[in-house]
Amino acid sequence: MKKLVISKLFLYRHRFVIGFIVLGTAYIGLLFGLPLLSPGGLSELEMESAAQSYALEFDSVFRGDIVDLPYRALQKLSIMTFGLTVYSVKLPSIIIGALLGCLLILLLNRWFKNNVALLASILAVLSASFLYLAGSGTPLIMLVFWPALLLWLGSKIQGVTKPKPLYCFAFAFALLASIFTPHLIYLALFIVLFAFLHPHLRFTIKNLPIIPLVLTVFIIIMGVAALVMAAFINPPIIAEILLAPNFPFEQFLANIQTAFLPFFAWNTALDSSFLSPFIGLASVALAVIGLLSTTKGFFASRNSIATCLIVFTIILSGLNPESAILILLPMAILIAHGLRYVLAKWYDLFPDNPYARISAIFPIGLFLGIMIIGGINHFLFGYRYVPMVADKFNDDIHLMMQNLTENTTLYVLDDEIAYNFYAIMDAQGVYHVVNSLPEDVNELPKQFATLSHHDDIPGEITRIITSPKSHNSDRIYIYNTVQDEKEL
């Protein structure tokens, strides 16, 4: 009988390729199902983002309206194509999230061995925090996308004897595009400074071919010039892009506390749309192990990048608490370091015993399975049933589509964000949206709807459309106008 050689089996030889294919399929499938899963509806920030995106015009660049321009253009295209729905608002983040997941997998696979890269990628892209980021219909995801893209492009340049000019140009364009995302101009300056101070990266720059290097610098200078010109035309974008602090140092420290409490707190009594803990204890433990394991080789570029990114994120979160989301990137890198350290220590215990090495699959698989399933369940059920965060999302669009007929007049009173959002439906000819009641009662339509109830609204409530949420369950009021005596 022929002896079975495991190393020659197809599944064994291609185990990592199969693993990455399964991971990519599961991740993309989960991403495009996010609007149907959780959170249940749209937040106020998502509504504001959709309204700003739909207001984007073709001449916005010439008017200096360039903040988050790529994301806003993609979101407007999505809304114009599919109409105003929960899915169309979130679709740009889903698409960018798919690209971000691929970038993260490629980056980890380039910096670590296949086994470590595969396990770390699974923990990163299937975590509750990453799924929330990819399913949020705001430009928040760009805070992580641009740094991940720059790190991957940088890894294709650094450590290569003759880097391809295409990667140099792509790096320059990505660095240019990133500065139009709020406060990422600081990241661009940090990357440039880090490249000149780090010995490995400085050596890489010195050995770059002269023509790609000159063209890369030229592209960056042109981008900075475009930013300066846009700021001259539209001065308010300076505050958006730079996030210049106009508060005392005590507020800076308070912002840092506000930013990181949802990441590590074990209660949900927080004024944040993030479900706490945003990062699980097991992931934090692996990241701490990874951080401690990199102290000896700190000056290796990937080690120092992760540590410096954490410090950089903490500083930025003092300017804007939402910037704390950037910590997901260095956390993924440190988790990979932690997994590498744990696997290396296990193999060192049994250097010549293949059975002991194989036996590590079961506890590691169980550990990862608990982390992944627990994280996905935390995301799916937490955003639906934890009152502190579930109440920040509403499914009013879905309720309208089910209960209001076309051309219904919808009065949105005392809520500018909601009015600007639902005005998109007016522009698309779905409903007639108005933000104030007419002075003459007789000018009211025979039947109309409002998003809030006021005692002075003339008319008789015929129906109240409710939501299953525990707070503010009465969402839409349908009125019939009271006929005057002449009509009677």
The 10s digit of each residue's pLDDT in 122-141 is 888 888 888 888 888 899 89
d(CA 173, CA 449) in angstroms, rounded, equals 48
CB atoms within 10 A of CB 58: 7
DSSP codes of every residue in 112-123: S-HHHHHHHHHH
d(CA 18, CA 442) in angstroms, rounded, equals 68
The model's pTM: 0.85
Report cis status (omega within 30 of 0) of the bond before 277: yes
Residue by residue, pLDDT tens for the chain (488 residues) are: 455 555 566 666 666 677 777 777 777 877 777 777 767 788 888 999 999 999 888 777 777 777 888 899 999 999 999 988 888 999 999 999 888 888 888 888 888 887 788 888 888 888 888 888 888 889 989 988 998 898 888 888 776 667 677 777 788 888 888 888 888 888 877 777 777 776 666 776 676 677 767 777 777 777 777 777 777 777 777 777 776 555 666 778 888 887 787 776 765 555 666 777 778 788 888 888 888 877 765 555 566 777 778 888 888 888 778 788 888 888 888 888 888 888 888 777 777 766 666 777 778 778 888 888 888 888 888 888 777 777 788 888 888 888 888 888 899 888 888 899 999 988 888 888 988 888 777 788 888 898 888 777 887 888 888 887 756 688 889 988 865 444 44
The contacts of residue 55 (CB under 8 Å, 6+ apart) are: 420
d(CA 396, CA 82) in angstroms, rounded, equals 17
Q: Above pLDDT 90, what percent of the chain?
A: 6
Sign of CA dihedral 379, 381, 382, 387: positive
Of 466, 473, 470, 446, nearest to 458 by C-alpha is 446
* CA 410, chain centre distance (Å): 32
